[in-house]
Structure 1
Amino acid sequence: MVDYLFVNYIYPEFLKKYLAYQMDEINASNIPAEQKVKDIAYAKEMMKNYVTPAFGTLLMFSMVFILGIVMSILTMLTLQRKSS
């Protein structure tokens, strides 16, 4: 939700600047022209999806979920070593 507010209201130019950055990176890479066209189209499609609240919510939930699992495993391993 916060991400949606940030992208749409606080800093609406973020997606445009990030897309321009992505396009510069793709154009600077040494890949064939056909792949560049595909990569640019994919980046534009992802930007369209990113502004939807459902996609933003799903993305943020999955990131927090994965980080939570990693932190839980690290904590479990740390506490397990102290017990042994």
Structure 2
Amino acid sequence: MAHHTGEPVQCGFSCHPNPNKNGTFNIRAGYFLKEDIGLFDAPFFNLTKHEAESLDPEQRVIFECTYEALENGEHYFKIIGR
């Protein structure tokens, strides 16, 4: 993840510097994923393409980090036979 401050963020909805302006957001900073979320291996996690596309990108990261933690534990893979 990358922390962003500075220039206004292209957020896909109406951003405005005045936080009191109705119907807009005032975003000054945020955290954004650096990785290409299109590289997520949905079939590996037994997810359909539609399910993967509807996942929050942070959930994809959780899937991958959980797998990496289990992989580093080795004991889990002896149990499931991988």
RCO comparison, higher one (Cα < 8 Å, 6+): 1
Q: TM-score, normalised by structure 1?
A: 0.32
Give 1 or 2: higher helix fraction. Answer: 1
Q: TM-score, normalised by structure 2?
A: 0.33
Give 1 or 2: higher strand fraction. Answer: 2
